Copies of this chain bind each other. A is one copy, B any other.
Amino acid sequence: MRNIRLLIAYDGTAYAGWQRQRIQPTIQGVLEEKISLMTTAPVIVHGAGRTDAGVHALGMVANFHTISSIPCAGFLKGLNCLLPDDIAILQVDEVDADFHARFKAKGKIYAYQFLCAPIVLPHQRLYYTQVPKQLDFEMMESALSLLVGEHDFSCFEAAGSRDCSVVGGRGAVRQIFSASLQQQGDGWAIVLHGDGFLRHMVRNVAGTVFDVGQGRSSLRDFVEILASKDRGRAGKTAPAKGLFLREVIY
C-alpha cells in the first residue's frame, strides 16, 4: 500500500467542519469522495485534526493509503479538477508507511483573524471577525505572553475536546511555544503555536484576549481565569470564521 500525504487549504464557510458526516458536506467527506473517484476504491483520509464548522485552513495535512498507481502529480492535478474551488490541494507526496497525519503531528499553528473597525467590508466578512470597540494591543500582547509554556488550559476548553487533541493522555495540559499578534492582510491575527489544542481553545483564547483588549478584563483577571481552570470564567467563543489552521508541524 502506498501512503499519500496531502497539503490542503480550504474555505470552511460552506462545510460542517472537517469530520465526515452522513448528510452535511464536510472537508473529509468531499476529499474521500473525490479520491475514491480517482482510485475507484473506498478510502479513508486521516486529517491532522478536526476543524469545526466554518473554520478555514491554509495548511491542513492529511494522509491516505491506496494501491492505486496514480503518481503524486496526477493526484494533485486530478483532485484540484474534481474538488469544488473552496478546497485546494497544495502539495501531494508519497511518504513512509508509518506516517500518520494526526499521530505524527508535533504541533500546529493557528491564526485567529480580526478587524478592529466599525464596519467589516463585504470581501472580508468570511475571514475576519469584527471587534467594533478599540483594542489595547499592548495589553493583548501581554495576555498572550502569559499563555506561553505548559499549562492546564481547561478554562479555554469546550466539551468533548479530549479526543481531538494531538497529544493525548494528559488532560487539558498543552504546551504553547509562541503566542503573538501579527498584522494579517487588512487586519490582525492572534497567532498561536502549540503542541496541541483543545476543542474551541483558540476561539476561546481569542474571545478572552478581546476582553482584555477592550478593558473588560485586566491582565490580573486573565491570570486568574487561566489558573481557575473554569470555562465559565473565560470570555466568549469567538466566531469560527476568523480561525485559520495555518500549519501542521511534524
**Which B-chain residue is minimally distant from A244 (CB atoms)?**
B123
Within 8 A of B (CB), among A2-31: 9-11
A72 interface residue, CB < 8 Å from B? no
Interface centre among A58, A88, A123 (most CB of B within 10 A): A123
> Smallest distance from the beta carbon of A242 to chain B beta carbons, Å?
12
Report the minimum CB–CB distance from A175 to chain B (whole Å): 29
Residue of B nearest to A8 (CB): B122
At the interface, yes or no: A121 with Cβ under 8 Å from chain B?
yes
Q: Does A81 contact B (CB under 8 A)?
A: no
Asked if A58 and B88 make an inter-chain contact with CB atoms under 8 angstroms apart, the answer reads no
A127 & B119 in contact (Cβ 8 Å cutoff): no
Closest to A185 in B: B185
Q: How far is the CA of A11 from the CA of B87 in the complex (A)?
A: 20
| Among candidates B9, B58, B119, B125, residue contacting A11 with C-beta atoms closer than 8 Å | B125
A56 within 8 A of B: yes
Say whether A85 contacts B122, CB under 8 Å.
yes
| B186:A121 contact, CB within 8 angstroms | no
How many residues on A have C-beta within 8 angstroms of the other chain's C-beta atoms?
21
> Cβ of A221 < 8 Å from any Cβ of B?
no
State which of B10, B86, B122 has its C-beta within 8 Å of the C-beta of A87: B122
List the interface of chain A (C-beta within 8 A of B).
9-11, 56, 58, 80, 85-88, 90, 119-123, 125-127, 185-186
Complex Cα gap A100–B122 (Å): 25
A85's partner among B58, B80, B125 (CB-CB below 8 A) is: B125
- Does the CB pair B121–A88 fall under 8 Å? yes
User: A56 is contacted by which of B9, B90, B123 (Cβ under 8 Å)?
Assistant: B123
User: Bound complex: CA of A108 vs CA of B86, how far in Å?
Assistant: 32
Distance A11 CA – B120 CA, assembled complex (angstroms): 12
Query: In the complex, what residues of B have CB within 8 A of residue A88's CB?
Result: 119-122
| Contact, CB under 8 Å: A86 / B122 | yes
What would 22 A/B residue contacts be, using CB atoms closer than 8 Å?
Answer: A9-B121, A9-B123, A11-B122, A11-B123, A11-B125, A56-B123, A58-B121, A58-B123, A80-B119, A85-B122, A85-B125, A86-B122, A86-B125, A88-B119, A88-B120, A88-B121, A88-B122, A90-B119, A123-B126, A123-B127, A185-B185, A185-B186
